[in-house]
A and B are shown apart, each in its own frame.
Chain A
Amino acid sequence: MPNVAGMADEDDPLFKALADGTRRAILDELVARDGQTLFELCARLTTNRGLASSRQAVSQHLDVLERAGLVRSRRQGRYRLHDVDTRPLARIARRWPVPGTGAAPQPDAPRTRTPDTRTPATRTPHPEDES
Protein backbone atom coordinates (compact mmCIF):
# COMPACT_ATOMS: atom_id res chain seq x y z
CA MET A 1 0.00 0.00 0.00
CA PRO A 2 1.53 3.33 -1.00
CA ASN A 3 2.16 6.00 1.56
CA VAL A 4 -0.56 8.60 1.65
CA ALA A 5 -0.60 12.03 3.20
CA GLY A 6 -1.64 11.92 6.83
CA MET A 7 -0.71 8.30 7.28
CA ALA A 8 0.52 7.63 10.79
CA ASP A 9 3.92 6.11 11.39
CA GLU A 10 6.09 5.35 14.39
CA ASP A 11 7.46 8.89 14.50
CA ASP A 12 4.02 10.41 15.03
CA PRO A 13 4.40 10.91 18.83
CA LEU A 14 7.74 12.66 18.22
CA PHE A 15 6.39 15.11 15.67
CA LYS A 16 3.19 15.74 17.60
CA ALA A 17 5.30 16.52 20.67
CA LEU A 18 7.39 19.01 18.70
CA ALA A 19 4.41 20.64 16.99
CA ASP A 20 3.62 22.96 19.89
CA GLY A 21 5.39 26.12 20.96
CA THR A 22 4.88 25.58 24.68
CA ARG A 23 6.35 22.10 24.47
CA ARG A 24 9.34 23.40 22.52
CA ALA A 25 9.79 26.08 25.21
CA ILE A 26 9.70 23.36 27.88
CA LEU A 27 12.51 21.55 26.06
CA ASP A 28 14.49 24.82 25.86
CA GLU A 29 14.14 25.38 29.61
CA LEU A 30 15.17 21.79 30.38
CA VAL A 31 18.23 22.17 28.16
CA ALA A 32 19.11 25.25 30.28
CA ARG A 33 18.87 23.10 33.43
CA ASP A 34 18.05 19.42 33.79
CA GLY A 35 16.28 17.92 36.78
CA GLN A 36 13.55 20.54 37.24
CA THR A 37 10.38 20.21 39.25
CA LEU A 38 7.05 21.14 37.71
CA PHE A 39 7.08 24.30 39.85
CA GLU A 40 10.43 25.49 38.51
CA LEU A 41 9.45 24.74 34.91
CA CYS A 42 6.23 26.73 35.27
CA ALA A 43 8.07 29.64 36.90
CA ARG A 44 10.63 29.68 34.08
CA LEU A 45 7.94 29.52 31.37
CA THR A 46 6.11 32.41 32.99
CA THR A 47 9.05 34.69 33.68
CA ASN A 48 11.37 33.82 30.77
CA ARG A 49 8.79 33.38 28.05
CA GLY A 50 5.64 35.11 29.21
CA LEU A 51 3.66 31.88 28.97
CA ALA A 52 0.74 31.76 31.36
CA SER A 53 -0.05 28.05 31.09
CA SER A 54 -1.53 26.49 34.21
CA ARG A 55 0.49 23.90 36.08
CA GLN A 56 -2.00 21.29 34.94
CA ALA A 57 -1.51 22.29 31.30
CA VAL A 58 2.27 22.14 31.66
CA SER A 59 1.92 18.76 33.34
CA GLN A 60 -0.08 17.50 30.34
CA HIS A 61 2.54 18.90 27.94
CA LEU A 62 5.17 16.98 29.92
CA ASP A 63 3.13 13.78 29.47
CA VAL A 64 3.13 14.29 25.68
CA LEU A 65 6.88 14.93 25.71
CA GLU A 66 7.41 11.83 27.84
CA ARG A 67 5.43 9.63 25.46
CA ALA A 68 7.70 10.88 22.66
CA GLY A 69 10.76 10.00 24.74
CA LEU A 70 11.92 13.63 24.81
CA VAL A 71 11.46 14.06 28.56
CA ARG A 72 12.07 11.58 31.34
CA SER A 73 10.73 12.04 34.83
CA ARG A 74 12.29 10.45 37.87
CA ARG A 75 11.50 10.35 41.52
CA GLN A 76 14.24 11.66 43.77
CA GLY A 77 13.20 11.35 47.36
CA ARG A 78 9.90 13.17 47.68
CA TYR A 79 10.34 15.21 44.48
CA ARG A 80 9.51 14.40 40.88
CA LEU A 81 12.21 15.77 38.56
CA HIS A 82 12.19 16.12 34.79
CA ASP A 83 15.14 15.63 32.44
CA VAL A 84 15.36 16.34 28.73
CA ASP A 85 16.40 13.51 26.38
CA THR A 86 17.21 14.72 22.88
CA ARG A 87 18.17 11.28 21.53
CA PRO A 88 14.85 10.71 19.73
CA LEU A 89 15.66 13.79 17.60
CA ALA A 90 18.42 11.77 15.91
CA ARG A 91 15.68 9.80 14.16
CA ILE A 92 14.76 12.93 12.21
CA ALA A 93 18.28 13.40 10.85
CA ARG A 94 18.56 9.68 10.09
CA ARG A 95 15.32 9.81 8.17
CA TRP A 96 16.17 12.99 6.28
CA PRO A 97 19.95 13.39 6.38
CA VAL A 98 21.21 16.97 6.29
CA PRO A 99 24.15 17.40 3.87
CA GLY A 100 27.32 18.68 5.43
CA THR A 101 26.37 17.84 9.03
CA GLY A 102 28.00 14.42 9.13
CA ALA A 103 24.60 12.77 9.33
CA ALA A 104 25.10 10.05 6.75
CA PRO A 105 22.15 8.29 5.15
CA GLN A 106 21.48 4.81 6.40
CA PRO A 107 23.01 2.20 4.07
CA ASP A 108 19.67 0.55 3.51
CA ALA A 109 17.72 3.76 3.15
CA PRO A 110 15.54 3.44 0.08
CA ARG A 111 16.61 5.75 -2.68
CA THR A 112 13.40 6.87 -4.26
CA ARG A 113 14.80 9.60 -6.45
CA THR A 114 18.18 10.37 -7.92
CA PRO A 115 19.13 13.99 -7.35
CA ASP A 116 19.05 15.74 -10.70
CA THR A 117 19.48 19.32 -9.65
CA ARG A 118 22.70 20.90 -8.55
CA THR A 119 22.78 22.39 -5.11
CA PRO A 120 26.33 23.72 -4.89
CA ALA A 121 26.01 25.12 -1.39
CA THR A 122 25.28 21.81 0.19
CA ARG A 123 26.38 19.09 -2.20
CA THR A 124 29.77 17.46 -2.11
CA PRO A 125 31.52 18.09 -5.45
CA HIS A 126 31.78 15.04 -7.65
CA PRO A 127 33.96 14.56 -10.79
CA GLU A 128 30.91 13.84 -12.90
CA ASP A 129 29.54 17.23 -12.01
CA GLU A 130 32.24 18.84 -14.12
CA SER A 131 31.08 17.26 -17.39
Chain B
Amino acid sequence: MRIHLSSIMVDDQRKALAFYTDVLGFLPKHDVPVGEDAWITVVSPEDPDGVQLVLEPDSHPAVRPFKDALVADGIPFTSFAVADVAAEHERLTALGVKFTQPPTPMGPAITAVFDDTCGNLIQIEQMA
Protein backbone atom coordinates (compact mmCIF):
# COMPACT_ATOMS: atom_id res chain seq x y z
CA MET B 1 0.00 0.00 0.00
CA ARG B 2 1.21 3.50 -0.74
CA ILE B 3 -0.18 7.01 -0.56
CA HIS B 4 -1.05 8.39 -3.98
CA LEU B 5 -3.64 11.11 -3.28
CA SER B 6 -3.85 13.75 -0.60
CA SER B 7 -6.67 16.28 -0.50
CA ILE B 8 -6.92 19.92 0.39
CA MET B 9 -10.30 21.64 0.79
CA VAL B 10 -10.46 24.84 -1.26
CA ASP B 11 -13.15 27.52 -1.39
CA ASP B 12 -12.85 27.94 -5.18
CA GLN B 13 -11.35 25.23 -7.38
CA ARG B 14 -10.39 27.52 -10.28
CA LYS B 15 -8.73 30.06 -7.98
CA ALA B 16 -7.00 27.17 -6.22
CA LEU B 17 -5.70 25.68 -9.47
CA ALA B 18 -4.25 29.06 -10.44
CA PHE B 19 -2.58 29.51 -7.04
CA TYR B 20 -1.20 25.99 -6.77
CA THR B 21 0.22 26.09 -10.32
CA ASP B 22 1.05 29.74 -11.17
CA VAL B 23 2.22 30.75 -7.69
CA LEU B 24 3.42 27.58 -5.99
CA GLY B 25 4.66 25.98 -9.21
CA PHE B 26 2.89 22.61 -9.18
CA LEU B 27 1.79 21.01 -12.47
CA PRO B 28 -1.84 20.27 -13.39
CA LYS B 29 -2.46 16.51 -13.63
CA HIS B 30 -6.21 15.93 -13.89
CA ASP B 31 -9.02 18.40 -14.49
CA VAL B 32 -12.25 16.52 -15.11
CA PRO B 33 -15.77 18.00 -14.74
CA VAL B 34 -17.83 16.24 -12.04
CA GLY B 35 -21.29 17.75 -11.77
CA GLU B 36 -20.93 21.38 -10.71
CA ASP B 37 -17.38 20.76 -9.53
CA ALA B 38 -14.31 19.13 -10.99
CA TRP B 39 -11.80 16.46 -10.20
CA ILE B 40 -8.63 18.51 -10.10
CA THR B 41 -5.22 17.26 -9.06
CA VAL B 42 -1.74 18.75 -9.19
CA VAL B 43 1.70 17.20 -8.83
CA SER B 44 5.15 18.44 -8.03
CA PRO B 45 7.44 19.03 -11.03
CA GLU B 46 10.10 17.31 -8.91
CA ASP B 47 7.95 14.16 -8.78
CA PRO B 48 5.36 14.24 -11.61
CA ASP B 49 4.45 10.56 -11.12
CA GLY B 50 4.29 10.91 -7.36
CA VAL B 51 1.55 11.79 -4.90
CA GLN B 52 -1.24 13.92 -6.37
CA LEU B 53 -2.75 16.77 -4.43
CA VAL B 54 -6.53 16.87 -4.91
CA LEU B 55 -8.09 20.35 -4.89
CA GLU B 56 -11.34 19.36 -3.26
CA PRO B 57 -14.32 21.77 -3.01
CA ASP B 58 -15.03 22.77 0.60
CA SER B 59 -18.79 23.16 0.14
CA HIS B 60 -19.74 20.61 2.80
CA PRO B 61 -21.21 22.64 5.71
CA ALA B 62 -18.86 21.05 8.23
CA VAL B 63 -15.74 22.13 6.39
CA ARG B 64 -15.77 25.93 6.64
CA PRO B 65 -16.06 26.09 10.47
CA PHE B 66 -13.27 23.52 10.71
CA LYS B 67 -11.00 25.45 8.35
CA ASP B 68 -11.76 28.78 10.03
CA ALA B 69 -10.90 27.40 13.46
CA LEU B 70 -7.59 26.00 12.22
CA VAL B 71 -6.66 29.21 10.45
CA ALA B 72 -7.57 31.39 13.45
CA ASP B 73 -5.02 29.47 15.54
CA GLY B 74 -2.46 29.51 12.73
CA ILE B 75 -2.53 25.75 12.22
CA PRO B 76 -1.36 24.45 8.83
CA PHE B 77 -3.14 21.22 7.91
CA THR B 78 -0.80 20.45 5.01
CA SER B 79 2.97 20.61 4.70
CA PHE B 80 5.23 20.67 1.64
CA ALA B 81 8.94 19.87 1.60
CA VAL B 82 11.27 22.46 0.09
CA ALA B 83 15.04 22.61 -0.31
CA ASP B 84 15.36 26.16 1.03
CA VAL B 85 12.61 27.69 3.16
CA ALA B 86 14.21 31.15 3.18
CA ALA B 87 14.42 31.23 -0.62
CA GLU B 88 10.78 30.07 -0.99
CA HIS B 89 9.69 32.66 1.56
CA GLU B 90 11.41 35.37 -0.46
CA ARG B 91 10.07 34.11 -3.79
CA LEU B 92 6.47 33.69 -2.57
CA THR B 93 6.44 36.99 -0.66
CA ALA B 94 7.46 38.74 -3.89
CA LEU B 95 4.44 37.11 -5.54
CA GLY B 96 2.15 38.55 -2.87
CA VAL B 97 1.78 35.46 -0.68
CA LYS B 98 1.13 36.25 2.99
CA PHE B 99 3.01 34.34 5.68
CA THR B 100 1.68 33.92 9.22
CA GLN B 101 5.06 32.55 10.29
CA PRO B 102 8.35 33.59 8.68
CA PRO B 103 11.14 31.01 8.33
CA THR B 104 11.85 29.79 11.87
CA PRO B 105 14.21 27.07 13.14
CA MET B 106 12.10 24.36 14.76
CA GLY B 107 14.40 21.69 16.11
CA PRO B 108 15.95 19.79 13.19
CA ALA B 109 13.84 21.68 10.64
CA ILE B 110 13.20 25.19 9.39
CA THR B 111 9.54 25.91 8.81
CA ALA B 112 7.34 28.74 7.59
CA VAL B 113 3.56 29.02 7.22
CA PHE B 114 1.65 30.82 4.47
CA ASP B 115 -1.97 31.43 3.44
CA ASP B 116 -3.05 29.63 0.25
CA THR B 117 -5.83 32.23 -0.38
CA CYS B 118 -8.32 29.34 -0.55
CA GLY B 119 -8.96 29.12 3.18
CA ASN B 120 -5.94 27.10 4.29
CA LEU B 121 -2.59 27.61 5.91
CA ILE B 122 0.29 25.61 4.43
CA GLN B 123 3.57 24.81 6.09
CA ILE B 124 6.79 24.54 4.12
CA GLU B 125 9.56 22.60 5.74
CA GLN B 126 13.25 22.14 5.13
CA MET B 127 15.09 19.42 6.99
CA ALA B 128 18.51 20.54 8.14
Interface residues, chain A, with chain B CB atoms under 8 Å away: 33, 36-40, 43-44, 46-47, 55, 59, 78-80
Contact = CB atoms under 8 A, between A and B. Distances in A.
Given A33-B104, A39-B113, A80-B72, 15 more contacts: A37-B73, A37-B100, A38-B73, A39-B73, A39-B100, A40-B104, A43-B104, A43-B106, A46-B107, A55-B73, A78-B71, A79-B71, A79-B72, A79-B100, A80-B74
Nearest to A40: B101
Chain A interface, DSSP helix/strand/loop, else mixed: helix
B68 interface: yes
Interface in B21-74: 68, 71-74
Given A47-B106, A47-B107, A79-B100, A39 B75 contact: yes
Interface of B: 68, 71-76, 100-101, 104-107, 111, 113, 115, 121
Contacts of B74: 36-40, 79-80
Contacts of B104: 33, 40, 43-44
A78 B73 contact: no
Contacts of B106: 43-44, 46-47
Contacts of A39: 73-76, 100-101, 113, 121
Contact of A78 (B72, B76, B107, B113): B72
Contacts of A37: 73-75, 100-101, 113
